């Protein structure tokens, strides 16, 4: 069965992103029983392919109806108990929110911040870990509000060296499948993700991957987990059962979205582009786009240009141009980009997504289209000043 | 754009259920920004149409990525505080689970049970309400494990008379849009629902509707809400904003599923079949199917036949026939039905769904197809004994 999605404006925000026709067709799969012998292998396949994307053999993936945000609840409700300490490395809006979520469950949060567009240094993190004991350390791999990429490998290995009992939580909502994440090698205990960004599927899934060490911590809790839906223990046997090819039941899974995710994961892990090539394509697309934008007079929000994410870019506008002008001019060229999200700089910057299917899909020229449109839009906006 | 879903076995379990081609096409909508001016009116429309289905003008609907189960967390995390009392009317598996969820959040639960296939009597409920003060009373409108329908109107009005400050929580996961629910008139404070049953959309949405009174209780809490994702307060401004036609952001909504839900709600609230006719069609289909099954020697799990749900049927098999035989024979006839779920009678019964698009969709003859297939399957199975 072939299917072609309806004509539409090119969606180049940092998620949701463009998805392929086969992924949308999978999302339009006829209704299936969630306990059907035909559906269980699809769920199994999605779980297994997710492991490949994260280069992990030992961590347990969880695919649950929800959003990236639900992944924070899963971490906060399961892996830390009231009164225990969390160290949050803050590189933007999502660090604040993750801290807020941890505090909702009673964690004592210490944040290491940075000026807008910056990220905490490894030296600051090391000093903090030596000064106090933390149950978990969290960081936003790519903060969607600033486009700043954290050095996941160095953070994971630093914690392993300085405070090996601390669980390392990587918020990868805006990085899974667009930035390299080697969960096992880099000592990452939990990857928190979602379907609508690098994974190139529609939104509606909370996707997390939890190390054996983190699951053991869960076994040794002194107090019960204070959530029902966001309980790893309730979902664990379900994921294990589906992965083994047999259905399980705790709550009805979002069947169609799992068909869609599995199709996208098939393209990511078994398509013509290898995972390694995929990450390289993201880097190339990012450099090309950033160079073109800088040439026009835009400036990265990321203070150190080399800390800019590969799957998205946040850009300050040249003096005298307001976000709506550029967003509108791009909209007139059938391209959708995003306004600002970080409260301190909201009126001064715009955000672009260049990830997943848009940069690694066969025959996609989205970044070239974007660059040409941005040049033309910029010329129009500056001419009319 | 027209779209026809792939040929498949007819899905007649008590959810997920068959959905229409336009609903699946909506689920395959091209990716859209969740804060797009084109998407906000769709979200708005879904919220408004939901009010119509529940006959409410004052309650606030919430549409969140999740499942029916997440709706229990929303109730337990927001409307009751640790140590407060909940009265759970138990008519099957889902009563046990809702009680479990409430206890996870620290509620003190008293259950009124009934033998399998029964439901607590109004006299028992009245006596319990007079004996003690409860913050919330919960009941399963249709327990999917037994097919027993509770008398929602009488329960709501009884609480209003005897214990007006108690919040009435109707678990309508298996009843919204297949059984009549008049939220305002019947004194129902919260309806907990999901997308994949009577609402005839794919699974992946938690759908709840919360009365003004319940939202006021939330305002007067002594302790903070102990969940981040399942917090009504965090979602309330988002729902209000989208309903007014402007986007809001707390967590990325499941955009495609909301397109699909709105399309199904359009069919339900503005299609050729009125809501009143829809409920009548469910009653007729249910009576027709139950009569045909009883004639073959099946017996309703519902102890009082008049307490059987209109959108589904749970049936004990005639002596000597095991569930897999009938399920297999129907499967060979391209019809998918469900096995047992209630632990006490699991090996003795089977379950059928006859709701939503299957009974109210234009030109659908699913119940006739089911009856003919059941007769034929039954003849085959009994002949081979």
Q: Is residue B4 in some structural domain?
A: no
Residue B138 in any domain: the answer is: yes
B6 touches chain A (CB under 8 A): yes
B258 and B371 fall within a common domain: no
Q: Which of residues 99-128 of B touch A (CB under 8 A)?
A: 100-101, 104-106
Chain B closest CA to A162's CA: distance in Å?
31
Does the beta-carbon distance from A202 to B104 stay under 8 Å? no
How many pairs of residues across A and B have Cβ atoms under 8 Å apart? 216
| Inter-chain CB proximity B19 and A27 less than 8 Å | no
Of B66, B196, B251, Cβ closest to residue A68: B251
Check residue B39 and give left, alpha or beta (phi > 0: left; psi -120 to 50: alpha).
alpha
CATH no. for residue B333? 3.90.1150.10
Question: What's the CA gap between B215 and B177, in Å, rounded?
Answer: 24
Give residue for tokens 């869960």: A218
Residue B359 falls within a domain, yes or no? yes
CB–CB of A159/A112 below 8 Å? no
Same domain membership, residue B280 and residue B264 = no
Say what the pLDDT of residue B384 is: 78
pLDDT in tens, B317-342: 999 999 999 999 999 999 999 999 99
Residues 318-347 of A with CB under 8 A from B: 336, 338, 341
The secondary element (H helix, E strand) that includes residue A312 is strand A312-316
User: Distance between the two ends of chain B, CA-based, in angstroms?
Assistant: 51
Q: Which of B28, B227, B341 sits opposite A24 (nearest CB)?
A: B28
B226 lies within 8 A of chain A by CB: yes
Residue A363's pLDDT band, with cuts at 50, 70 and 90, is very high
**Do residues B240 and B99 share a domain?**
yes
The minimal CB distance from B227 to the residues A28, A104, A205 is found for A104
Question: Looking at chain B, how many residues does it have?
Answer: 385
pLDDT for A125 equals: 98
Is residue A227 less than 8 Å (CB to CB) from chain B?
Answer: yes
Q: Is the pLDDT assigned to residue A384 strictly greater than 90?
A: no
Contact A16 B32 (CB under 8 A): yes
Classified as helix, coil or strand, B125 is helix
The answer to whether B225 contacts chain A (CB < 8 Å) is: yes
Q: Could you tell me the CATH number of the domain that includes residue A165?
A: 3.40.640.10
Contact status of A366 with chain B (Cβ, < 8 Å) = no
Q: Which residues pair with B62 in a beta bridge?
A: B208
Within 13 Å, how many C-alpha atoms sit on residue A336's CB side? 20
B5 contacts chain A (CB < 8 A): yes
**Average predicted confidence (pLDDT) for chain A:** 97
Clarify whether residues B72 and B186 are in a common domain.
yes
For A204, the closest of B196, B254, B338 (CB atoms) is B254
Contact A229 B224 (CB under 8 A): no
B2 falls within a domain:
no
Determine the pLDDT at residue A2.
84
- Mean pLDDT over B138-162 rounds to 98
| Segments of A195-291 assigned E as strands | 205-210
* A344 in the same domain as A226: no
Q: Give the residue from A270, A304, A334 where a domain finishes.
A: A270
pLDDT digits (tens, 9 = 90+) for A207-246: 999 999 999 999 999 999 999 999 999 999 999 999 999 9
Query: Whole-angstrom Cα distance, residue A342 to residue A354?
Result: 19
- Residues of B with Cβ-Cβ distance to A35 under 8 angstroms: 338
The answer to whether residues B88 and B226 belong to one domain is yes
Give A-chain residues touching B207 at CB under 8 angstroms.
none
Indicate the residue among B253, B270, B287 that finishes a domain. Answer: B270
Distance from CA of A123 to the nearest CA of B (A): 31
Could you list the beta-strand ranges (E) of chain B.
10-11, 60-65, 85-89, 108-112, 136-140, 142-143, 148-149, 167-171, 190-194, 205-210, 299-300, 312-316, 335-336, 349-353
The C-alpha atoms of residue A125 and residue A137 are separated, in whole angstroms, by 10
Residue B361 belongs to a domain: yes
User: What is the nearest CA distance from A41 to chain B, expressed in angstroms?
Assistant: 17
B266/B279 same-domain check:
no
What is the signed CA dihedral for B289, B293, B299, B305, rounded to 10 degrees?
30
Burial (0-12, 13-18, 19+ Cβ within 10 Å), A339: middle
Nearest to B140 by CA among B163, B110, B170, B120: B170
Q: Please, which pLDDT band fits residue B1 given cuts at 50, 70 and 90?
A: confident
Asked if A228 reaches chain B (Cβ–Cβ under 8 Å), the answer is: yes
By C-alpha distance, the chain A residue nearest B336 is A33
Structure ipTM over 0.85, yes or no: yes
Cβ-Cβ contacts under 8 Å, A206 against chain B = 65
CB contact under 8 A, A27 and B28: yes
pLDDT at B2: 84
Say if the Cβ atoms of A100 and B228 lie within 8 Å. yes
Nearest to A252 among B11, B67, B336 (CB): B67
Please determine, for residue A385, whether its predicted confidence score (pLDDT) is greater than 80.
no
pLDDT in tens, A243-269: 999 999 999 999 999 999 999 999 999
Find chain B residues with C-beta within 8 A of A66's C-beta: 65-66, 70, 229
Q: A23, A68, A203, A221: best mutation site toward chain B, by most B Cβ within 10 Å?
A: A203
Q: Is the pLDDT of residue A21 over 90?
A: yes
**B227 interaction partners in chain A (CB closer than 8 Å):** 73, 77, 104, 227, 230
- State the pLDDT at residue A238: 98
Specify whether A90 is located in the same domain as A163: yes
Instruction: Look up residue B328 and give its two tokens.
Output: 């297999």
Residue A188, pLDDT above cutoff 80: yes
A2 domain residue, yes or no: no
Contacts of B196 in chain A (CB under 8 A): 31, 252, 255
Of A5, A67, A251, which is closest to B30 when you measure between CB atoms? A5
Domain termination residue (choose one: A254, A270, A286): A270
What is the tens place of the pLDDT at every residue in B282-329? 999 999 999 999 999 999 999 999 999 999 999 999 999 999 999 999
* Nearest alpha-carbon partner for B180 in B275, B103, B296, B95: B275
Could you read off the pLDDT of B265-278 as tens digits, one per residue?
Answer: 999 999 999 999 99
Confidence at A1, pLDDT banded by 50, 70, 90: confident
pLDDT in tens, A306-339: 999 999 999 999 999 999 999 999 999 999 999 9
Distance from CA of B254 to the nearest CA of A (A): 4
Over residues B373-382, the pLDDT tens digits come to: 999 999 999 9
Q: Are B27 and A28 in contact (CB under 8 A)?
A: yes
A358 and A249 part of one domain? no
Task: Residue B369: count other Cβ atoms within 10 Å of its Cβ.
Answer: 16
| B264 neighbourhood in chain A, CB within 8 Å | none
- A164 CB-contact burial (10 Å; exposed 0-12 / middle 13-18 / buried 19+): exposed
Q: Per-residue pLDDT tens for A86-145? A: 999 999 999 999 999 999 999 999 999 999 999 999 999 999 999 999 999 999 999 999
- Considering the domain architecture, whether residues A205 and A255 belong to the same structural domain is answered as yes
Kindly state the average pLDDT of the residues B166-191. Answer: 98
Fill in the DSSP letter of residue A311: S
Q: How many CB atoms lie within 10 A of CB B132?
A: 11
Residues B185 and B285 in one domain: no
Q: Is B7 inside a domain boundary? A: no
Instruction: Give A-chain residues touching B28 at CB under 8 angstroms.
Output: 3, 5, 24-25, 27-28
Mean per-residue pLDDT of chain B: 97
CB of B18 within 8 Å of any CB in chain A?
A: yes
Distance, CA of B343 to CA of A291 (rounded, Å): 63
Domain shared by A139 and A239, yes or no: yes
Q: How many domains does chain B have?
A: 2
Residue B255 in contact with partner chain A when CB distance is under 8 A: yes
Contacts of A8 in chain B (CB under 8 A): 30-32
Query: Is B241 domain-assigned?
Result: yes
Contact between chains at A251 and B67 (C-beta distance less than 8 A): yes
Nearest CB to B6 within list A30, A33, A255: A30
The residue segments making up the domain with residue B377 are 274-383
């Amino acid at each position: 069965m072939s299917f072609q999605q309806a004509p539409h404006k090119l969606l180049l925000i940092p998620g949701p992103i463009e998805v392929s026709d086969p992924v949308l067709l999978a999302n339009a799969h006829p209704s299936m029983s969630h306990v059907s012998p035909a559906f269980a292998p699809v769920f199994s396949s999605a779980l297994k392919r997710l492991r490949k994307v994260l280069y992990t053999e030992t961590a347990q993936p969880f695919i649950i109806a929800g959003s990236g945000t639900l992944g924070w609840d899963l971490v906060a409700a399961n892996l830390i108990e009231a009164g225990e300490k969390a160290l949050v490395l803050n590189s933007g809006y999502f660090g604040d929110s993750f801290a807020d979520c941890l505090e909702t469950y009673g964690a004592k949060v210490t944040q290491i911040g940075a000026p807008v567009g910056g990220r905490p240094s490894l030296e600051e993190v090391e000093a903090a870990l030596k000064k106090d004991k933390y149950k978990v350390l969290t960081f936003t791999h790519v903060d969607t509000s600033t486009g700043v990429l954290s050095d996941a490998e160095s953070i994971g290995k630093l914690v392993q060296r300085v405070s090996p009992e601390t669980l390392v939580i990587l918020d990868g909502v805006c990085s899974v499948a667009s930035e390299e994440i080697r969960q096992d090698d880099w000592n990452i205990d939990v990857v928190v993700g979602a379907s609508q960004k690098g994974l190139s599927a529609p939104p509606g899934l909370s996707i997390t991957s939890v190390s054996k060490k983190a699951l053991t911590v869960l076994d040794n809790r002194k107090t019960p987990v204070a959530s029902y839906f966001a309980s790893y223990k309730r979902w664990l046997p379900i994921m294990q059962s589906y992965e083994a090819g047999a259905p399980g039941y705790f709550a009805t899974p979002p069947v169609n979205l799992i068909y869609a995710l599995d199709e996208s994961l098939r393209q990511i892990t078994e398509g013509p582009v290898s995972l390694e090539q995929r990450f390289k394509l993201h880097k190339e697309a990012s450099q090309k786009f950033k160079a073109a934008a800088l040439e026009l007079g835009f400036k990265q929000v990321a203070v150190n240009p080399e800390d800019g994410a590969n799957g998205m870019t946040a850009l300050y506008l040249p003096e005298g141009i307001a976000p709506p002008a550029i967003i509108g001019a791009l909209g007139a060229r059938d391209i959708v980009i995003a306004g600002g999200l970080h409260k301190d700089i909201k009126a001064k910057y715009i955000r672009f997504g260049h990830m997943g299917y848009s940069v690694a899909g066969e025959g996609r020229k989205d970044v070239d289209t974007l660059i040409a449109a941005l040049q033309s839009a910029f010329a129009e906006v500056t001419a009319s000043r």
